[in-house]
Structure 1
Amino acid sequence: MRILHVDTQRGFRGGEQQLLWLAVGLKNRGIETAVACIEDELYSRCLENGIKTIKLSRNRLKNILEVARIGKNFDIIHAHASHAHTICAFSKVHNKKPLIYTRRVDYKPKKDPITKFKYRNTDKIACVARYVCEVLRHTIGIEEFEVIHSATNPLLEESVDLEKVESIKGQFKHSTIIGTATALTEQKNIPNLISAAEIILRKRKDIVFLVLGEGHLREKLEGLVKRKGLENRFRFMGFKKDIENYIKAFDLFVLPSDYEGLSGAVLNAMLLKVPVVSTDAGGLSEAVFNRETGILVERNRPEDLAEAIEIVLDDRDLGEKIIENAYKLVKENFSVDKMVEKYVELYEQLMEVKR
């Protein structure tokens, strides 16, 4: 069985991490695996992990032609983002290979001819949460989906460098660290967290807010923080390759998103025994059970977000209960091994149909 994964996203976000873990898992099972992507962080990390890489360009037409050509050497094509889905659907006209698309976001797809074409020409759709499936069901009208949750890697615990964690904490002595790890894009709604921070910092001066990640809104968000006079207590840390050390240094992880599939960053925080406060965006309610594995609040309500943060900070017993329940949930239900096995089953189904 030969699988070609396609992802044309820039940077290295949650979807790219999930793809990398899947590719490594397949390789370790002896399944021939290659990743077609642009020359960026995902490309470098695939090379580091011994995954065959195929370089794509930033031109959609060239990529369609390239995947059409190289796709003939594989049994299944697996698209991992919307643009990659478009490329793979059009290239399928020539390579004639079964196509899988993993949908990781919960916003409604467009209803234009290209969207209809690519979904019509997709053999299997895997959603990272049941909520994502429901969005597609009501917008695209497709009834058959596979739910394959995003995962977190148990090895993440082992990769934590406790000296680095203490060093990070040492940069913010005598401060409680509240953090998030996410792309700086509209759907992640960092202004929601900034407004919640403003509410909290009126009452408490012993807190610092850290945001890990990059995106096109960084300059705008930094300007918003400065206008509110929060720049000494709300900091943008940029992209961190050793993100596990920073998350482990957090006293609380907060996800303020308006749209999500199922956040890998939230799962990572749970695995690293950091309590989570999250909005109820997308499939997050499938992992964050209110007052059991985290605190869940409505989207875009900074007052509620601020209140939830303070509840966890002030109620140590609740925080400990959340940490232990979340850790157990992730270990039992959101492992990379389970995710890989479910994709292998999906590939085998397609291979049977092909025969």
Structure 2
Amino acid sequence: MRILQLNFERGWRGGERQTLLCLRHFRAAGHHAALLARRGEPLARAARDEGFEVHEVQNAFSLCGKLLGIARRYDILHAQTANTLTWLALLKPVLRRPIVFTRRTAFPVSDKKQDKTRWKWRRADLLAAISEAAAAEPRRLGLPVAVIPSAIEARPFDIDRARAFSEQFDLQGRKVIATVAALTREKDPCTLVRAVHALRRTRDDFIFLHLGAGGDAEQAARSLAAELDVQDCYLFAGFQQGVEDIYRLMDVFVLASAHEALGTSVLDAFLYSVPVVSTNAGGLAEVLADGRGLLCEVGDHEALARAMGRVLDDAGLRSEMVRKAHAFVLEQHDPRRMAHRYLDAYQAVLTRFEARG
């Protein structure tokens, strides 16, 4: 098959990692995989560096023009983001190619947007979701959904990079608690700041690292950290290339999301044997079930603080959580398994499309 992946996002987050993983494993399975992405962004650069065919566009207008010129070269058009599905849905009568869309969020659809969203989702020949939480809204609107979980794969450990990071942030001799999340409202960094403040009242043997790009809650989080006087133990470390190396330094991983379809940063923690504490938002409840992590109610900073302290103090609990989580991520979130789920679904879609003529 000839497969075109579409991802028009800026920056580098979970969806971009998943798009690149799809490209790699579709190619490894013997298919031609190409990418349409925003010009100059990390995903476009990474895919080009790995030898993929990359179509770079600057804006929505040029995206549409590019699609009209190249879409008929491909058997499958796979929208990895909601904005690219919008343009594929509008252009579908002209493109005359089967469309696949992966939903990566668990946000509820507002009443005002239901009809528009339902129309757009129905234009996809296959609607996939990365978790049951992400599938809930399409199903509520009466649409069939295939759940194809995101995948994760280990990177070789760069010990020099990890050592340099540890020295830069003076981590030696302290417990390292960390999150990997953009400073956005859905990730709820202010609850994390409050949780660290609460934990600080009971112990001073740790440092908290917030790894991730800025966002619409950054100023609020920084202001709250100053107000609560936790700047010495709550460090805003920013976006880090090769963040996988830093997981090897962590004693506990924490996610305080208010909304989360799956949480690939949690899968990273599972893969690198870091015990996880998180809220029970969306797909996080699925991922951390059966003792794979400790779950707290969304917004409950005191519960997060207690859970972090419990994990730090209980070696037996840490060992059992890590054992279960590592086995789970290897079995359920293997990239080859994800790729073959998509490829089987593509083939079924293509067969139906060709039968319709």
TM-score norm. by structure 2 comes to 0.94
1:217-271 CA-partner distances (Å, limit 9, x unpaired): 3333222211221111111111111010112211110011011111111001110
In the alignment, the residues of structure 1 paired with residue 58 and residue 161 of structure 2 have an alpha-carbon distance, to the nearest angstrom, of: 36
Partner residue, 1:160: 157
CA contact (8 A) 2:190 2:220 kept: no
Secondary structure at the aligned position of 1:249 is classed as coil
In the alignment, the residues of structure 1 paired with residue 129 and residue 230 of structure 2 have an alpha-carbon distance, to the nearest angstrom, of: 38
Partner residue, 2:294: 295
Partner residue, 1:314: 313
Secondary structure at the aligned position of 1:178 is classed as strand
Partner residue, 1:67: 67
Partner residue, 2:14: 14
Partner residue, 1:118: 120
Aligned length: 348
By how many angstroms is 1:286 displaced? 2.0
By how many angstroms is 1:91 displaced? 2.1
Secondary structure at the aligned position of 2:283 is classed as helix
In the alignment, the residues of structure 1 paired with residue 72 and residue 20 of structure 2 have an alpha-carbon distance, to the nearest angstrom, of: 22
CA contact (8 A) 1:150 1:263 kept: no
| Structure 1 stretch displaced more, 83-92 or 114-123 | 114-123
In the alignment, the residues of structure 1 paired with residue 84 and residue 227 of structure 2 have an alpha-carbon distance, to the nearest angstrom, of: 38
Q: How does 1:208-227 map to 2 (within 5 A)?
A: 208-217=207-216, 218-227=218-227
Q: How does 1:39-58 map to 2 (within 5 A)?
A: 39=39, 40-58=41-59
In the alignment, the residues of structure 1 paired with residue 211 and residue 238 of structure 2 have an alpha-carbon distance, to the nearest angstrom, of: 5
1:275 to 2:275 alignment = yes
Partner residue, 1:240: 240
In the alignment, the residues of structure 1 paired with residue 350 and residue 195 of structure 2 have an alpha-carbon distance, to the nearest angstrom, of: 50
CA contact (8 A) 1:192 1:300 kept: yes
Secondary structure at the aligned position of 2:136 is classed as helix
By how many angstroms is 1:37 displaced? 0.6
1:76 to 2:73 alignment = no
In the alignment, the residues of structure 1 paired with residue 246 and residue 228 of structure 2 have an alpha-carbon distance, to the nearest angstrom, of: 25
Partner residue, 2:29: 29
Partner residue, 1:249: 249
1:134-192 CA-partner distances (Å, limit 9, x unpaired): 22222x321x1111001111x32xx1123332443342122111101112211111111
By how many angstroms is 1:197 displaced? 0.5
By how many angstroms is 1:112 displaced? 5.2
In the alignment, the residues of structure 2 paired with residue 91 and residue 300 of structure 1 have an alpha-carbon distance, to the nearest angstrom, of: 41
Partner residue, 1:128: 130
In the alignment, the residues of structure 2 paired with residue 48 and residue 322 of structure 1 have an alpha-carbon distance, to the nearest angstrom, of: 37
Partner residue, 2:142: 141
CA contact (8 A) 1:15 1:80 kept: yes
Partner residue, 2:95: 95
Q: Which amino acid aligns with 1:271?
A: L
By how many angstroms is 1:113 displaced? 5.0
By how many angstroms is 1:215 displaced? 2.5
Which structure 2 segments of 5+ residues have no match?
none
> What is the alpha-carbon root mean square deviation over aligned residues?
1.5
Pair 72,194 (structure 1): closer, same or farther in 2 beyond 3 Å: same
CA contact (8 A) 1:211 1:235 kept: yes
Secondary structure at the aligned position of 1:325 is classed as helix
Q: Which amino acid aligns with 2:312?
A: L
In the alignment, the residues of structure 1 paired with residue 186 and residue 15 of structure 2 have an alpha-carbon distance, to the nearest angstrom, of: 15
In the alignment, the residues of structure 2 paired with residue 215 and residue 321 of structure 1 have an alpha-carbon distance, to the nearest angstrom, of: 34
In the alignment, the residues of structure 2 paired with residue 194 and residue 162 of structure 1 have an alpha-carbon distance, to the nearest angstrom, of: 29
CA contact (8 A) 1:258 1:300 kept: yes
Q: Which amino acid aligns with 1:36?
A: L
By how many angstroms is 1:82 displaced? 1.2
Q: Which amino acid aligns with 1:12?
A: W
CA contact (8 A) 1:109 1:136 kept: no
In the alignment, the residues of structure 2 paired with residue 236 and residue 210 of structure 1 have an alpha-carbon distance, to the nearest angstrom, of: 6
Q: Which amino acid aligns with 1:136?
A: P
Secondary structure at the aligned position of 2:295 is classed as strand
| Structure 1 stretch displaced more, 71-80 or 170-179 | 170-179
Secondary structure at the aligned position of 2:349 is classed as helix
Q: Which amino acid aligns with 2:45?
A: S
| Structure 1 stretch displaced more, 330-339 or 167-176 | 167-176
Secondary structure at the aligned position of 1:122 is classed as coil
CA contact (8 A) 2:259 2:281 kept: yes
In the alignment, the residues of structure 2 paired with residue 130 and residue 42 of structure 1 have an alpha-carbon distance, to the nearest angstrom, of: 26
1:108 to 2:108 alignment = yes
CA contact (8 A) 2:38 2:56 kept: yes
1:63-89 CA-partner distances (Å, limit 9, x unpaired): 223223321211111001111111221
1:20-68 CA-partner distances (Å, limit 9, x unpaired): 001111111221111101020001110111111101223x233223223
CA contact (8 A) 2:138 2:145 kept: no
Identity of aligned residues (%): 29
1:337 to 2:339 alignment = no
TM-score norm. by structure 1 comes to 0.94
In the alignment, the residues of structure 1 paired with residue 68 and residue 93 of structure 2 have an alpha-carbon distance, to the nearest angstrom, of: 8
CA contact (8 A) 1:68 1:92 kept: no
